[in-house]
Amino acid sequence: MPQTDQVPHRFSKHGFSLEKAIRFFFASNAGLTIVILLLIIAFLLKEGLGFFPGYRRELQVYRIAGLEFVDLSRSNLSAHEQLASVLNRAYFAEINGLCTRELKRSQEAAALFNAFSDRSSATRELLVSNLGAGAEAHPDLLATLRKNHAASIHQALAALPATPHLTSAERADLLQSIATRDVTATDDPPLVASLAQQYAAAQQQQSVPLARLRETIDAFEAAGADLSVLVSDMTATVTATKEAIQNADILNKGRASLLAAAGHAKDPATRERLLTDARRSLAANPDIDAPMQALMLHKPVCCAAHTALRQACATILEQLPPTLSQPEAQRLLRAARSATGPFLANLANTPQRISEWRHDQPVPLSAAIGSFLTGKDWVTGGEWQDFYGILPLLVGSLMISLVALCLAIPAGVGAAIYINQFASLMEQAIVKPVIEFIQAVPSVVLGFIGILVFGSVLRDISQLDALAWVPGFPIEERLNIFTAGCLLALMSIPTIFSLAEDALNNVPAAYAEASDALGASRLQTSFRVIIPAAFSGILAAVLLGLGRVIGETMVVLLVAGNRIKIPDFSSGIGAFLQPSHTLTGIIAQELGEVPLGSVHYQALFVVGILLFAIVLGINATAHQFISRPRN
Amino acid sequence: MYNPESLIRKGLPKGHIKDRLVRFSLGLVTYLIVIIAALLFFKIIKDGAPVLLTTKAPYVDLGFLLDKNETLHVFHDARGQRHQLAASKYSAYVKDHAGEPIYNERTFSYSGGGIIGPIVGTVLLTVGSMVLALFFGVSAAIYLSEYAKQSPFIHAVRLAILNLAGIPSIVFGLFGFSVFVLAVPVITSTPSERTLLTVPLFIGKAVLSFQGWNSSLLAGCATLACMILPVIITASEESLRAVPQGFRDAALAMGATRWQTIRTCVLPFSIPGILTSSLLAITRVAGETAPIMFTAAVAAKDDLPWQSLANPFDLLSSQVQALPYHIYTLAARIPASEFTQRAQYGSVFVFLMIVASLSFGSMLLRAKLRSKLKW
């Protein structure tokens, strides 16, 4: 860095000079970074800040039109349906558990036959289409096709799934019947059909002692009928109102823009024309009072229906058997029992909420902000009502980051300690370039590997019987939080590794020498002197890795499964094996499809602002740690 | 790389079992990372190399590299033989075999033909953004290293660089979309309806309309350049500072002006370093998908960027295909099957080879530079 001040030459004029111009040019380029940062902030805010008023208006319409009122009942109805479905699953789990042998035999025979049909279908369809009436195929062609089909049958027979529950005689019989089957036959082979019949008979037989449970479940399902009819009645009314309000909003907006254009128009004729247009498009204020009054008449009926449903459910649920014999059925029954309490409590307090509900209660701006920050639903493009709740996305992003950091911190920091403290020069020369190479792998390639290879491998591993004790195994979806977390860990390891290694390298040699001189072992020097001294740097490395993980888009978009739902934590750690969506993924997925300037579009920009704030916060904290003087 | 401490402390006693245990477990973690990385490369090379490499001369399947991307048609002919043809060859086949039935026809989008479109698009995007980023980035670095003194302005610039470097790429995508696609000024005689502001230029009917460049090569380049700017500035500043102070002092003492000093005694010695670190920046620009998703990239395009243009400048305002976006499309939008594997693994293999050779080249150059320039 030059220390001398630039003294203008004696003869150079004060004011403009070439040197000054050059200097100014370079300075303005340096200033470009500030301009870009300010532009980013300004345009994110410009596109995003309109969201809250727009969302507030949507929530207001939601209330005025009465959709909110209907949702009070609807939520209970859907809880009722869910409970009924859990009970049904428990019932069938019990029955299937009791006739496992028949179920397995039937399934295996069917799977064998399906695998065979899949593999020989191409040649078979070809043959059949030439055999059919009207197809006058040449005999030579038919012969070739038959030969091809025979070959594919032969191939298909060679690789069929195992059937541990069928006797070898049965299997041979089945193979015989499918090998000699007529190509045009469409019915199942006799053994498959008879096993299916046996299974049905066994189900029939096992359901006799469970008849009482069946009746209870049926009664429970039937109890919701009244409320269901009521809700669908009200739904028709309120959606019509909502549509009327929205149409009026659109007309009003068009009118406002016509008026604005008229204000700008210089030509009196044009202005007159625009004004006439505006007057013509004057929207008739939609009639919201009459439908609302009609809706309010439902209040007592609704309350009564809820009370009735509650009483019915309470008595019916008491009749459930205390235990079921099959473990899966028992688990589902327990889940149903634990859901019963909140369900009944909700039913109990709904009448009061219904009678207190008022359509003319204003929606403050804070309600829109609150609904965005704490809303549990991100529902867009639906017919009923759009909700922009950030929680499912935020939770998804955080859970994926947690998985990634749990894997990347030990790996990255451990490797940094090993390379810096223990490795030979030779090892350093191998490992460092490899890790640098990982950093160069584009994220979309990692996502590609995740979607095509890693997800399936993980699912296959989870289906091993030996690993059945791991919570959440076997996994249902191959694309889930854990898969994404693993790949993001691989992405952030180079960042964490190289920064942590720098931090360890920056510890003055005197520290280590002093420690050695005092007689400390290598391990003591490393873990009690060097690592504590580099701790703030390592922490900064971890934070910068976290910033990278949260901001990463392509991997999570491809691999996280993209289901917008807060994972179900009732299954404990298995929640990490469920699919999820993320802050970054939602922007990448939806920005291409939304209309410019719509509330949804603005919502995506607000998500961007949030992401920007989170990552800048993390990075600022990290740089605090880096610049903190070592004591 | 070279850590003298580890040499000095080499002679220390190795310690007992606990020491070995810790050493072993840390080594295990380290080599696990190396093995996972190796497995990843191995998988891509194993499935991708057969697509691109052939056993006959010229040992490379030029069709995959040089053909346009098309839909793949898979079908059986009347003799029961299976064909896999890209759309253009398929229509030629249908014309040649008019009247013959076709069975079991299935189509796979984006899976036929080659990937010349995405390759060309990525090259254009990379070159464009690197030209922009190098021009502005090196200029900014010259100011920071040669002119700047402690001042609030410099402090703000450094803070901005630090913050820009941390912004997630998808936020750059949002920024590029709202600024370069929707808001930057263009000179036009027919301003679009969504223009933010029009400024008359008093030359014919032309006005300066703030309506953006639409989704185009230029918008994509500008977005990527903004994203990579902090990396370029930091690397260039480092290279400039590596030039010994004596060079500058000597030049200034001879009566050279500040700019002459920079031009003759600082820049020539730092250019190799700047270019080396920009190779690394290129790998990042070429690999990014999120910033170009809404600003430049398109999934399918029939022509190469320069074909069917009214005038050469339309190249900048047309959308392009890009290799990372192509891979995203192949991975996310079409189901994996035996017929799509060629396109999927082939594209990833080509992409990874490009990125790997850039990154490897940068590593080699850096090593060479270190041994050559020792002041």
- The ipTM value here is 0.89
Contacts of A619 in chain B (CB under 8 A): 162-163, 166
Tell me if chain A has a CB within 8 Å of the CB of B353.
no
pTM: 0.85
**Which has more confidence, A382 or A31?**
A31
Closest Cα partner for A130 from A117, A144, A120, A111? A144
Closest Cα in chain A, distance from residue B163 (Å):
7
Contacts of B183 in chain A (CB under 8 A): 43
Residue A527's identity, in one-letter code, is: F
Q: How confident is the model at residue A14 (pLDDT cuts 50, 70, 90)?
A: low
B226 and A36 in contact by Cβ < 8 A? yes
**% of chain A beyond a pLDDT of 70:** 94
Closest Cα in chain A, distance from residue B218 (Å):
17
Q: Rounded distance, CA A236 to CA A423, Å?
A: 72
A561 DSSP β-pair partners: A580
A122 and B76 in contact by Cβ < 8 A? yes
Contacts of A411 in chain B (CB under 8 A): 29, 32-33
- Give the residue from A448, A459, A491, A523 with the most B CB atoms within 10 Å of its CB, the best one to mutate: A448
Domain borders along chain B are 4-52, 70-113, 116-169+215-372
DSSP secondary structure string for all residues of A320-360:
S-S--SSHHHHHHHHHHHHHHHHHHHHHHHHHHHHHH--TT
**Which has more confidence, B35 or A226?**
B35
* pLDDT tens for each residue of A80-112: 888 888 888 888 888 888 888 888 888 888 888
User: According to the per-residue pLDDT averaged within each range, which of A65-79, A574-588, B335-349 is highest?
Assistant: A574-588
- Radius of gyration from C-alpha coordinates of chain A: 34
Contacts of A36 in chain B (CB under 8 A): 160, 164, 226, 229
Closest Cα in chain B, distance from residue A437 (Å):
7
- φ, ψ of residue B203 to 5 degrees: the values are -120, 100
User: Is the distance from CB of A267 to CB of A96 less than 8 angstroms?
Assistant: no
Q: Rounded distance, CA A103 to CA A199, Å?
A: 6
User: According to the per-residue pLDDT averaged within each range, which of A499-508, B2-11, B104-113 is highest?
Assistant: A499-508
Question: How buried is A97 (Cβ within 10 angstroms: 0-12 exposed, 13-18 middle, 19+ buried)?
Answer: middle
Residues in chain A: 631
Q: How confident is the model at residue B161 (pLDDT cuts 50, 70, 90)?
A: very high
- φ, ψ of residue B319 to 5 degrees: the values are -75, 155
* pLDDT tens for each residue of B124-145: 999 999 999 999 999 999 999 9
3-class SS letters over chain B: CCCHHHHHHHHCCCCCHHHHHHHHHHHHHHHHHHHHHHHHHHHHHHHHHHHHECCCCCCECHHHHHCCEEEEEEEECCCCCEEEEEHHHHHHHHHHCCCCCCEEEEEEEEEEECCHHHHHHHHHHHHHHHHHHHHHHHHHHHHHHHHCCCCHHHHHHHHHHHHHHHCCHHHHHHHHHHHHHCCCEEEECCCCCCCCCEEEEEECCEEEEECCCCCCHHHHHHHHHHHHHHHHHHHHHHHHHHCCHHHHHHHHHCCCCHHHHHHHHHHHHHHHHHHHHHHHHHHHHHHCCHHHHCCCECCCCCCCCCCCCCCHHHHCCCCECCHHHHHHHHHHCCCCCCCCHHHHHHHHHHHHHHHHHHHHHHHHHHHHHHHHCCC
Which residues lie closer than 8 Å to B44 by C-beta, 6 or more apart? A445, A449, B345, B348, B349, B352
Q: How confident is the model at residue A391 (pLDDT cuts 50, 70, 90)?
A: very high
Q: Rounded distance, CA A2 to CA B252, Å?
A: 10
Strands B69-76 and B103-113: antiparallel
- pLDDT reported for residue B1: 41
DSSP state of A267: S
List the single residue in B with minimal CA-CA distance to A28.
B140
Element (H, E) at A312: helix A289-318
Question: How buried is A342 (Cβ within 10 angstroms: 0-12 exposed, 13-18 middle, 19+ buried)?
Answer: exposed
User: Nearest CB to B230: which of A33, A553, A615?
Assistant: A33
A33 and B140 in contact by Cβ < 8 A? yes
Closest Cα partner for A258 from A246, A274, A242, A241? A274
- The superfamily (CATH) of domain B116-169+215-372 is MetI-like (1.10.3720.10)
User: Is the distance from CB of B320 to CB of B217 less than 8 angstroms?
Assistant: yes
* pLDDT tens for each residue of B241-278: 989 999 999 999 999 988 999 999 899 889 888 888 88
What are the distances in angstroms from CA A448 to CA A458, A583, B199, B331?
15, 20, 47, 6
Assign A408 to helix, strand or coil: helix
A379 DSSP β-pair partners: A387
User: Is the distance from CB of A496 to CB of A541 less than 8 angstroms?
Assistant: yes
pLDDT at residue B35 tops 80: yes
Alpha carbon A3 to its chain's center: 57
Contacts of A596 in chain B (CB under 8 A): 182, 194
Tell me if chain A has a CB within 8 Å of the CB of B3.
yes
Q: Rounded distance, CA A552 to CA B171, Å?
A: 10
Residue reference for tokens 């934590």: A569
* pLDDT tens for each residue of B195-222: 777 788 777 778 888 888 888 899 999 9
Q: Rounded distance, CA B241 to CA B143, Å?
A: 12
| Portion 197-236 of B in contact with A at CB < 8 A | 226, 229-230, 233
Q: Rounded distance, CA B89 to CA B75, Å?
A: 13
Assign A196 to helix, strand or coil: helix
Structure tokens of A197?
């019949």
Closest Cα partner for B289 from B245, B331, B322, B334? B322
User: Nearest CB to A126: which of B103, B175, B344?
Assistant: B103
Domain borders along chain A are 60-95+223-364, 97-208, 397-627
Sheet with B198-203, side-by-side order of all strands? B185-188, B206-210, B198-203
B167 and A40 in contact by Cβ < 8 A? yes
Q: How confident is the model at residue A26 (pLDDT cuts 50, 70, 90)?
A: very high
Mean per-residue pLDDT over chain A, rounded: 83
- Give the residue from A17, A37, A479, A581 with the most B CB atoms within 10 Å of its CB, the best one to mutate: A37
Q: Count the Cβ atoms, other than its own, within 10 Å of residue A371.
A: 21
Residue B306's identity, in one-letter code, is: W
Closest Cα partner for B351 from A79, A63, A444, A112? A444
Taking residues A46-62, report their average pLDDT: 88
Closest Cα in chain A, distance from residue B263 (Å):
12
List the single residue in B with minimal CA-CA distance to A137.
B78
pLDDT at residue A630 tops 60: no
User: Is the distance from CB of B183 to CB of B212 less than 8 angstroms?
Assistant: yes
Closest Cα in chain A, distance from residue B20 (Å):
9
DSSP state of A577: G
* pLDDT tens for each residue of A427-475: 888 888 888 888 888 999 999 998 888 888 888 888 777 777 777 777 7
- pLDDT reported for residue B32: 92
Question: How many interchain CB pairs under 8 A, A with B?
Answer: 301
- pLDDT reported for residue A631: 46
Tell me if chain A has a CB within 8 Å of the CB of B187.
no
**% of chain A beyond a pLDDT of 90:** 20
User: Nearest CB to A616: which of B44, B166, B177?
Assistant: B166
Closest Cα in chain A, distance from residue B272 (Å):
20
User: Is the distance from CB of A367 to CB of A56 less than 8 angstroms?
Assistant: yes
* pLDDT tens for each residue of A250-283: 888 778 877 777 777 777 787 787 777 777 766 5
Q: Rounded distance, CA A321 to CA A210, Å?
A: 10
**Is the domain A397-627 a CATH 3.40.50.10540 member?**
no
